[in-house]
């Protein structure tokens, strides 16, 4: 059974950094496209980033240069390094498996950026 479990969220001050993790089971993270999608409180979904099977990475314009997606096959875990955090980065961050149409999602981890 495919499972995705995010962790690493919390309360962080503006300008700070955070690393989110997504532990996968039931498949290997390097065998499929892996995404991060976020949702600000009361708002819609925003695609953030993807890492493809070959390791190429792509980002939304709003996070380019501040966020870095990566994976560790030995730990079967996906990561999102978030730097220079802003209030508008406050959101639930979901990891999701798949190219484009993502059929498997984690439960999300909440990141709150506030002083």
Residues that bind other proteins (CB under 8 A): 37, 44-47, 50, 58-61, 94, 96, 99-103, 105-108
List, in order, residues 6 or more apart from 13 with CB less than 8 Å away. Answer: 85, 113, 114, 115
CB of 30 to other proteins, least distance (A): 20
For other proteins, the closer of residues 42 and 115 by Cβ is 42
Residue among 25 and 73 whose Cβ is closer to other proteins = 25
- Please name the residue ranges forming H helices in 1-115: none
Q: What is the full DSSP assignment across 85-109?
A: --GGG-EEEEEEESSSS--EE---E
φ/ψ (deg, to 5) at 97: -100, 135
For the CB of residue 69, give the shortest distance to other proteins in the complex, in Å. 13
Q: Least distance to other proteins from the beta carbon of 28, Å?
A: 21
């Amino acid at each position: 059974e495919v499972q995705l479990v995010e962790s690493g969220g919390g309360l962080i001050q503006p300008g700070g950094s955070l690393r989110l993790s997504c532990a996968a089971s039931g498949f290997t993270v390097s065998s499929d496209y892996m995404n991060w999608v976020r949702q600000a409180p009361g708002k819609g979904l925003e695609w953030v980033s993807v890492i493809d099977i070959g390791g190429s990475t792509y980002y939304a314009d709003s996070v380019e240069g501040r966020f870095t997606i990566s994976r560790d096959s030995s730990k079967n875990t996906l990561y999102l390094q978030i730097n220079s955090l802003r209030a508008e980065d406050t959101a639930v961050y979901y990891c999701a498996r798949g190219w484009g149409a993502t059929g498997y999602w984690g439960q999300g981890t909440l990141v709150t950026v506030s002083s």
